[in-house]
Amino acid sequence: MNSLATAVPAQTPGGRHPGWSGRVDALGAQAVVGLAFATPVSTALANVFLALVFACWLAGGRYREKLRCFVDSPIAFAALLLFGWLVLSLSWAGGFGPDQREFLQKYADLMMVTVVLWFMLDPRHRARALAGFAAAMLLTLALSYAAAAGLLPPARWLRAVPGNAVVFKMHITHGLLMALAALLFSLFAFEATAAGRRLAGAFWTIACLLALFNVLFMVQGRTGYLMIASLIVLVFALRAGWRGLAIASVLVCAAATAIYQGYEPLRQRIDRGMSELSKWDPATPATENNSIGRRLEFLSEGLALVQERPLFGQGLGGFAAAYRGQIEGTGKDPTSNPHNEALLLAVQAGIPAVLLYLYLLACTARAARRLPTLHERVLAPALVLWIGIGGLFNALLIDHTESLLFTVLLGLLAAAALQHTPAGASRNGPGEGPGPASTAAP
């Protein structure tokens, strides 16, 4: 970009921006690393780091340069467009009550993409942030295996029960995070091996295999199963195009069949899901323990609401009230969460919100070809799959952990795309001197 030179903060010969601004930016970059670690582990700690990141962004000044970063980043601009439309929908929500306040706070993570971007312009900061997330998932993985073996004493933060070895988060979130971690571990393994660091490559390979086993055999989350399969197909498709896609599809189907036949707990979960699907009747209220039936019920009634107001929707935070009115007298249970990202956006802010959501995902996927490292080039489409497929069964943008991790990784990828130039030279972000054009795995 021609304007990129003005977007990236100026550096002194010593490599750091002078004065207060440089110190604040250095602290902000470290806070993003802390946020990447804390998000999978602790909601309270993640909120502390999130507040620190935002405070550093505000206190650091250089707002013209920050504005230029935002304008030059399609990802950050698309995220703010989506958030802006959701905020605008408050004008026809019929008031600003608790529901509007709650959903505004949940979607506000989208506004943080440009904030994270500013602190991640240096490739070393991005490597540290990914290392922070990887460390959190290694900790989660170790504790999950320890919980499954009965080695952990009861604790408030430990959510594990027999047959479901989750740790800090519930099973859907745990499965989604661990599936993404497995992909990242595999990329770290490949990069380390390619660089001749065989010991590191072996470490990350083992971590990847343990993460895959954890999702498939230790956690009760069907979304995690689907995510693992989707990411495997993605990697093969990126490596070998349509041929890789075909090979991966065959391998995934064969592996799924073998696991289904040989592992009774997984077969029971799949069979239960298929039974719930086949028995669903739109005229009959789904029971509380019928997760597939309830999701189909939400989808059916939610689509009826979209048909009523397709362009503008009910307004931000208006889903719960509109859904109560829709099901009145049917005996169906009310909800504020239809467990489908696009449906929730459409009911609240109309089809334009869904289109802006898809535009954000398209910008992220399109940025992949401009990213400097292997793990970033794969992570971009993987993140699109992660939020897109996960969003078919869960409204991830209003789930704190998933939404915050999505924001951090979006900011990281947006910074990498902005920092990378056609010639392959690296531009530097706040708090650091010249850095390499590509960064190896931690």
Q: Within a 13 Å sphere around the CA of 363, how many CA atoms are in the beta-carbon half?
A: 23
Q: Which residues, at least 6 apart from 56, have a Cβ–Cβ distance to it below 8 Å?
A: 24, 25, 27, 28, 31, 119
Q: How far apart are CA 203 and CA 376, in angstroms?
A: 20
pTM for this prediction = 0.86
Asked if pLDDT for residue 252 goes beyond 60, the answer is yes
Q: Which of 110, 118, 29, 140 is nearest to 67 (CA)?
A: 118
Partners of 164 in the β-ladder: 161
The answer to whether residue 369 scores a pLDDT higher than 50 is yes
- Alpha-carbon gap, residue 395 to 342, rounded angstroms: 8
* pLDDT tens-place string over residues 303-312: 999 999 999 9
Handedness of CA 335, 403, 54, 316 (dihedral sign): negative
Best CA proximity match to 207, nearest among 227, 230, 239, 178: 178
Segment 186-197, tens digit of pLDDT: 999 999 998 889
pLDDT digits (tens, 9 = 90+) for 18-69: 577 788 899 999 999 999 999 999 999 999 999 999 999 999 888 888 898 8
pLDDT computed for residue 17 by the predictor = 54
Work out the average pLDDT over 272-296: 77
Q: Give the tens place of pLDDT for each residue, 115-143.
A: 999 999 999 999 999 999 999 999 999 99
Tell me which H or E stretch contains 17. Answer: none
